[in-house]
């Protein structure tokens, strides 16, 4: 969809508005007409902890990725059309986001700026915390839409991350991200917000829910088992929660070392008898498994898998920051090299995959290249006069598989010089917090495949 200048100004105006609490869920007339027009095969998605929309974008498809990120032999149905030798357009899926939510204003601004171009009404995005949303619903306010097929949510991961303090359930930040002084954590603190996702599942009764978090969660005491048990109890034990699986993004065409644990819950009463019988088995057959099979070989092996995507394939497409008008490529962290003993002080390997893109910024963003004095190995680039610098937001976004037309550094039009809807430092944060869209797309396409196998009277 081509966007006019006046439309762009309107999007920026919407994104810059302060959102005073919940916009109560009353479907706008123009949005209602649009939803009624959608083919009956559309599957409605309620997205929680949405961030800038990595999971949302992946579940809808219809975005551009590197051609090398798609295994055309194993997954030709992923491809809508070939743009050129470097890029392909992914097909659109059956999934459609009807509700998105995050408390961080920068994530909201980035989400609205991008998804408005795809025809979304900005009222779909809600900035209240999940705790407040559930409390409002219980207070009699219509918060969540009806007819939800799928709930997704990457509940906050900082408390389970290897890179973080590993507080787990004992987080001392609340559901709004604020520090709390209490001695004991509660269900309203950040490490236990998955319990409020469970409440949304009980309210909306989707056929499937997907919860996503960092790999570190599975190694933290018995956290995985507790979360799996808690999700299973949703709707009076109405969901079959499968054994969670750790997916390495590089095995799905994402040029990044990123491992995520995926919990999938399926509504028992919606399943047909054969599917319920298969999914209750200790070992689920490939035919019925909702988890996608790898398409690329990083930690996975197989004769039909493509080689992992190398960073050189991304960076060969980009100009240096001083030679571009793309704000997401133009700016980068100026934090100085602090020594190899510190996090985020390594140089990327052009013939390898990228590091895990973290939500921190400045000194934790890896280097695109280091100087010879600091151990840089990209001698040809240094000899060509290219200087030491850290990765740009655009480079981080491409490593995450966001498309080139997704803007992350967004200026505030008409504001003071240097004012932003999303600043460069906050762009790093929202990118690092996101699910790689291509990983989410692999999940979405797998669920499309098994949907009619699982459920009664489905297309």
How far is residue 330 from each of residues 44, 112, 394, 395, 415, measured CA to CA in Å? 37, 22, 9, 10, 20
| Length, in residues, of the chain | 459
Q: Rounded CA gap, 274 and 454, in Å?
A: 8
Other beta carbons within 10 Å of 318: 17
CA atoms within 13 A on the CB side of 14: 22
Chain Cα centroid distance, residue 50: 7
Let me know: does 91 contact 62? Beta carbons within 8 Å. yes
SS3 334: coil
Q: Rounded CA gap, 65 and 445, in Å?
A: 15
SS3 425: helix
**Among 271, 248, 274, residue whose Cα is nearest residue 259:** 248
Strand partners, 239: 267
Q: What is the largest CA-CA distance in the chain?
A: 67
Q: Rounded CA gap, 90 and 290, in Å?
A: 20
**Among 31, 64, 53, residue whose Cα is nearest residue 100:** 53
Contacts 24+ apart (CB under 8 A), 81-86: 86/313, 86/317
Phi, psi of 368 (to 5 degrees): -65, -40
**Among 343, 433, 347, 339, residue whose Cα is nearest residue 393:** 433
Strand partners, 264: 210
Q: Does the annotation mark 342 as catalytic? A: no
- DSSP secondary structure letter of residue 217: G
Let me know: does 163 contact 342? Beta carbons within 8 Å. no
Catalytic residues: 157
């Amino acid at each position: 969809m081509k966007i006019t200048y006046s439309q762009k100004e309107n999007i920026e105006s919407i994104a810059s508005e302060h959102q005073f609490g919940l916009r109560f869920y009353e479907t706008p007339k123009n949005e209602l007409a649009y939803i009624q027009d959608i083919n009956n095969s559309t599957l409605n998605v309620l997205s929680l902890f949405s961030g800038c929309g990595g999971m949302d974008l992946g579940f809808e498809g219809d975005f551009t990725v590197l051609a090398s990120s798609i295994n055309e032999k194993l997954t030709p149905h992923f491809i809508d059309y070939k743009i050129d030798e470097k890029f392909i357009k992914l097909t659109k899926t059956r999934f459609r986001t009807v509700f998105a939510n995050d408390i961080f204003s920068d994530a909201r601004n980035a989400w609205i700026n991008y998804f408005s171009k795809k025809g979304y009404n900005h009222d779909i995005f809600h900035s209240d915390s999940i705790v407040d949303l559930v409390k409002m619903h219980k207070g009699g306010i219509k918060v969540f839409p009806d007819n939800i097929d799928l709930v997704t949510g990457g509940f906050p991961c900082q408390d389970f991350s290897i890179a973080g303090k590993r507080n787990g359930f004992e987080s001392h930040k609340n559901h709004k991200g604020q520090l709390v002084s209490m001695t004991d954590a509660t269900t309203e603190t950040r490490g236990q917000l998955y319990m409020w996702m469970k409440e949304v599942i009980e309210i909306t009764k989707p056929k499937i829910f997907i919860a996503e978090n960092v790999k570190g969660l599975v190694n933290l005491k018995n956290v995985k088992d507790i979360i799996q048990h808690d999700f299973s109890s949703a709707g009076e034990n109405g969901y079959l929660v499968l054994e969670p699986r750790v997916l390495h993004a590089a095995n799905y065409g994402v040029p990044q070392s990123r491992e995520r644990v995926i919990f999938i819950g399926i509504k028992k009463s919606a399943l047909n008898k054969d599917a319920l019988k298969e999914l209750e088995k200790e070992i689920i057959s490939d035919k019925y498994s909702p988890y996608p099979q790898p398409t690329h070989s990083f930690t996975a092996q197989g004769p039909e898998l493509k080689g992992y995507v190398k960073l050189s394939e991304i960076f060969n497409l980009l100009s240096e920051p001083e030679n571009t008008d793309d704000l997401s490529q133009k700016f980068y962290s100026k934090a100085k090299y602090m020594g190899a003993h510190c996090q985020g002080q390594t140089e990327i390997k052009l013939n390898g995959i990228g590091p895990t893109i973290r939500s921190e910024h400045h000194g934790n963003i890896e280097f695109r290249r280091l100087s010879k004095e600091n151990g840089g190995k990209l001698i040809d680039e240094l000899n060509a006069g290219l200087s030491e610098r850290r990765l740009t937001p655009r480079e981080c976004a491409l490593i995450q598989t966001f498309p080139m037309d997704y803007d992350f550094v967004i200026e505030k039009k008409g504001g003071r010089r240097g004012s932003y809807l999303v600043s460069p430092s906050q762009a790093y944060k929202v990118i690092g917090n996101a699910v790689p869209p291509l990983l989410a797309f692999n999940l979405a396409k797998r669920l499309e495949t098994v949907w009619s196998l699982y459920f009664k009277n489905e297309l």
